[in-house]
Chains A and B, each alone.
Chain A
Amino acid sequence: MSPRKTRSRKVAVGKEVLKKALDLTPFTDEPLRFIDEDGHPVADFSLEDVGLDAAMAVRIYEDMVLTREIDRMAWVLVRQGKAFFHISTTGHEGTFVPQLHTLTEEDWVAPFYRLPASLHVRGIKVEEIFAQYMGTRLDPLKGRQMPGHLGHPDHKLFAHGSGVGSQFAVAIGIARALQYRGKGMCIAYGGDGATSEGHFHSLMNFAGVYNLPVVVTVVNNQYAISVPRSRQTASKTIAIKAMAYGFDGFLLDGNDPIVMYYATKKLAEKARSGEGPSLIEALTYRLDPHSSADDDKRYRTEEEVKYWWEHDTLKRMRTFLEDMGLWDQDREEALRERVKAQIEEALNRAEEAGLPDWEELFHDVYAGETPWHLLEEKHLLAEELKERPLHNPLKGGH
């Protein structure tokens, strides 16, 4: 083929890809996307076409960078012995940040352990995210959970457990409460591994039967620790599973923030207006090991990881903004400086807060009056602590 023919063929394919994404086509075999793997538009479209404006497009990128830098700092905290674990968000920013930006104050989030670095978008302060990583007094959870968990009723953010997929079953009730009140929707998160748990089935089944206002988002980063997606399900895609539950599933390029924003905004609105649930499969890649306790070299090749770093969602979003004339090197440098200062300040505040009160452990088991047996147990510990100091892991060591 001549170069001209090749180009016109590429344009035609691009237009087709664009149309599929704009039509929000369910059950495709290839992920829907608006930008290609380098970040350039697959075909000509305006921000308005995808439900964005310039301010929001820039905001999404800035929040993705902040998320990335929070996550990188968390790894530093682990190396410094200031945090004892980390479960990485890096590589998933293009999924979480735009999705969270589509939500209203009425909406709820049932998160899972990869979200925390991005939850500033939901109103959690950056210092609270760091405080949670370290378990200091500023942590909204008062240091009760390992790093990688956040929740707060004021932000309509469920405080999830550590059991993979557990938040899916809880999301049934959150969505049912919203349906009863007639406003808001719930976005329920989990990974590809979580789709093997019964909780996923429960949510999908109840969501279909009750027509719940829920957008189930499966973050398919292709591995559940070491086990690849192909060993979780023989299903061609995860999105297609929605068909059997009686609603639509959408396979999206999870590293394309534009399609994540566009699709989630539409599907959230559909849920809010009583038109039922949707399943999103966001195809992405975990750029880090599963956690600070994992060694991903045992199950992934360096070439594979390198490929995904080269097509990092941050790079793609930046290229897109540059193509749109919304970004340049000066702005990038200014942003990086701002984020650096913000993180430093937040980290200091989080760290200085110190250890949470041990007394409250006994009072937070039950709401209302603390039962007598816990008061007795609290007294026993108080007596014990007259004879030994309470170990403070924040001062180093295990």
Chain B
Amino acid sequence: MPTMTLAQALRNALDIALERDDRVMIFGEDVGKRGGVFTITEGLQEKYGEMRVFDTPLDELGILGMGVGLAAAGMRPVAEIQFIDYIWPGFDALYSEAAKLRFRSGGRFAVPLVVRSPYGGRVKGGLYHSQSPETLFVHTAGLKVVIPSNPYDAKGLLLAAIADDNPVVFLEHKRMYFMSKGEVPEGYYEEPIGKAKVVREGSDVTLIAYGMMVLDSLEAAKTLEKEGISVEVIDLRSLMPFDGEAILNSVAKTGHLVTVHEAPRTLGFAAEVAAFVAERAIEYLDGPIVRVTGWDMPFPYILEDAYMPNPVRIVRGVKKALNLL
């Protein structure tokens, strides 16, 4: 099995999708000749032509409006938003159109649209190249939200997202594009949307994470192991729908729950996990539910390290959940 970076795995998935289904179209700012600012679409225009892989004017509303129209007319569009921080002029097309079209048409239209976009910090990107706004998409009924943490999942989940008849917001951690490497099968495969993965088994505490925070959580788990604390790490992979069963199974075993994300704390996805577990498994809990998150502030530039969740913050969160802090 070849080893690929996250970027290569995503490119490979797009290549396969374009190859096997002539309804798939890829478009966005600089995705053509340039191959995307993160090179995810490199070489694809050359291979599939300018009707299948094309640059758009610099207009997120136009990009996402076009995505909805293509999907409504039977194509399988894959839109790239250069940075998720810039999606807002197009949010109307996502929030009011893509997410609601199936419902408002009485189930008659399908919207097989994938919106790919880099998110996340630790790249010295400042306010507008670092944010993690996933909660806003999760809170938009009608959208699915997927965030992979490794090349294998990224490819399988992206192919599943393209095959899905619903709009999927597919967030890729930009710090991981070239840093994250792993074995990836060459052919077509799908990883199921809505299914989490236990990436480390443990018995004392459940650590829920997604995207790059899976790596920080695994590092924290290693540190805690040395202190005799056994951490189970769950990679959520999909936030909408999310794998409630996997969370409950783990919490029933460990009795302690910590959720990690880069996004701001208040009403972040960790709040949903906390409410979900409190509502149906509070009897299993032997300690407080803890959130390890970014702060409730815009993302800072030069002091980004002050904002970013990290293994130390996660270790402290776990200890708090275990009433050790």
Contact = CB atoms under 8 A, between A and B. Distances in A.
Contact of B102 (A170, A206, A366, A373): A366
Contact of B106 (A142, A175, A201): A142
B103 A170 contact: no
A274 interface: no
Interface string B214-232: 0000000000000000000
A371 B164 CA distance: 13
Nearest to A145: B104
A363 interface: yes
B107 A363 contact: yes
Contact of B59 (A161, A163, A202, A366): A202
A379 interface: no
Nearest to A366: B166
Interface residues of A, number: 50
A213 to B, nearest CB: 12
B104 A149 contact: yes
Contacts of A373: 241, 244
Contact of B65 (A153, A168, A177): A168
A194 interface: no
B103 A206 contact: no
Given A202-B65, A206-B56, A209-B57, A141 B96 contact: no
Nearest to B241: A371
B171 interface: no
Interface in B33-65: 51, 56-57, 59, 61-62, 64-65
Nearest to B58: A205
A353 B8 CA distance: 55
A169 B93 contact: yes
A364 B104 CA distance: 8
B69 A163 contact: no
Contacts of B89: 198
Nearest to A207: B62
B67 interface: yes
A220 interface: no
Contacts of B65: 166, 168-173, 199, 202-203
B105 A141 contact: yes
B107 A142 contact: yes
A170 B93 contact: yes
Contacts of B151: none
A170 B68 contact: yes
B104 A169 contact: no
A14 to B, nearest CB: 42
Contact of A161 (B75, B96, B144): B96
Contact of A365 (B59, B97, B141): B141
A149 B108 CA distance: 14
B239 to A, nearest CB: 12
Contact of A158 (B72, B110, B194): B72
B18 interface: no
B258 interface: no
Interface string A137-158: 0011110110001011110001
Interface in A164-210: 166, 168-180, 198-199, 201-203, 205-206, 209
B191 interface: no
Interface in A100-118: 108, 110
Interface in B183-201: 194
Contacts of B144: 366
A376 B105 CA distance: 23
* Size category of the binding interface on chain B: 35 or more
A206 B60 CA distance: 12
B45 to A, nearest CB: 15
Contacts of A368: 164-166
A360 interface: yes
| Chain A CB within 10 A, most for which of B62, B67, B108 | B62
B263 interface: no
Interface in B67-92: 67-75, 77, 89, 92
Given A159-B105, A202-B61, A180 B25 contact: yes
B179 to A, nearest CB: 32
Contacts of A139: 106
A200 B166 CA distance: 26
B57 A206 contact: yes
Interface string B125-167: 0000000000000000110100000000000000000001110
Contacts of A151: 105, 108-109
Contacts of A169: 61-62, 64-66, 68-69, 92-93, 97
B74 A144 contact: no
B116 interface: no
Given A158-B72, A198-B61, A153 B66 contact: no
A234 interface: no
Contacts of A178: 73
Interface string A339-365: 000000000000000000000110111
B260 interface: no
Nearest to B56: A206
A293 interface: no
A367 interface: yes
A372 interface: yes
B72 A163 contact: no
B101 A173 contact: no
B71 A173 contact: yes
Most chain A C-beta atoms within 10 Å of own C-beta, residue among B107, B241, B244: B107
Contact of B104 (A159, A168, A366, A372): A159
Given A169-B61, A170-B93, A373-B244, A365 B103 contact: yes
B74 to A, nearest CB: 7
A141 B106 contact: yes
Given A166-B93, A367-B107, A372-B244, 6 more contacts: A110-B69, A144-B105, A177-B74, A199-B92, A205-B59, A209-B57
Interface of A: 108, 110, 139-142, 144-145, 149, 151-154, 158-159, 161, 163, 166, 168-180, 198-199, 201-203, 205-206, 209, 360-361, 363-368, 371-373
Interface of B: 25, 51, 56-57, 59, 61-62, 64-75, 77, 89, 92-93, 96-97, 100-112, 141-142, 144, 164-166, 194, 240-241, 244
29 contacts: A140-B105, A141-B106, A144-B105, A151-B108, A151-B109, A153-B109, A158-B69, A159-B108, A161-B97, A168-B65, A169-B62, A169-B64, A169-B92, A169-B97, A170-B66, A172-B66, A173-B68, A173-B70, A175-B69, A176-B25, A177-B73, A179-B51, A198-B61, A206-B56, A209-B57, A364-B106, A367-B102, A367-B166, A371-B194
